Structure 1
Amino acid sequence: MPLFSETSDVSVRPAVPGDELAIAQVQLAAWRDTHADVFGTALDDLDAEAISAGWHESITAPPGPGYRVLVALAGPQVVGFAAVAPVAAPEGEARGGVLVALEVTPTAQRGGHGSRLLAAVVDLLREDGADQLHTWVLDGDDARARFLRESGLGPDDVAREVVAGTLPDGTHRTVNEHRWSAGI
């Protein structure tokens, strides 16, 4: 029996201190690959070091129970991440969760990392007693919509407008997002 397999070691684990810069780099690479037409040159101004500080806080001092950051690994390398937060429910109803972020670096996409991350998020939400999951998708993000649809989520007719930056004339640039959800 050979010591090494022809496939790489892939896994998902909770993010730990030290993962934050890799998470920020994955996030920026994925956004630049997918959303350059929406955010334009504003993406060029984003700094991985500054973004990593926010991820460090999310990893080391989450705001409460149910807030989690997970990473997808190819061998020892972080190639993706997911962040999930709890959603309060009315008394007597099961809680839900919102998938705040799920990104895979462009060179590692279509390798199952996103599916593994989403499955891990769902498992954690179920352990917490949640029975639903939702997330937000930018208009025009066809790849994300396809991934979510193939994963069992669907749009639920809730939309919102989000400020995506400030234009040179001082006005705000906005984008539209639609909520996708599923029972888990």
Structure 2
Amino acid sequence: MTLKLAIIVGSTREGRFGPVPARWIADRAGRRDDLAVDVLDLADLDLPDVLRPLGAEPAPEVALVSPRLADAEAFLVVTPEYNHSFPAPLKSAIDWHYTQWRAKPVGFVSYGGMGGGLRAVEQLRQVFAELHAVTVRDVVSFHGAWTRFDEDGEPVDAAGADAAAKVLLDQLVWWGTALRDARAQRPYEV
């Protein structure tokens, strides 16, 4: 049974690099028979950065995104590292939603300079734990990302990157399937 995977492109910065690794991982995920991919690029979604009070009606832009996240059975966040953390628009997008993340797996593709976005990932793990999501262990990380892709948007070390992507996607499918089955047998309640 196909698992619904939402890929979230976390950078909205002008001139951002994020679409390069996002297109690459979406292509790799899309080649699999066990995944159906939905890409949510935060730069295209125009989500507000001011949160409304708890219980208030969400902004119309949020209301368009919420069903897509609720429908997803697994998530893959593509994030840069800005100043040892993840981008503010990504945090806002996460914070607009609560139940959509619960009892679902989250994986990461990170990129950046020397740290390769791994500090951003470690902080995101804490955020998603608070939302009752399960983060998978393995990450695909591109250190010095601007030199790790060729002019066609393919990793210079294609074999290594593809092997890392396979491990990450395999983990998302395993956890996504296990948690989908568990939610069907017994709804997750906080």
Normalising by structure 2, we get a TM-score of: 0.33
Bigger relative contact order, structure 1 or 2 (CA pairs below 8 A, ≥6 apart): 2
Structure of larger gyration radius: 1
Normalising by structure 1, we get a TM-score of: 0.34
Which structure shows the higher strand fraction?
A: 1
Which structure shows the higher helix fraction?
A: 2
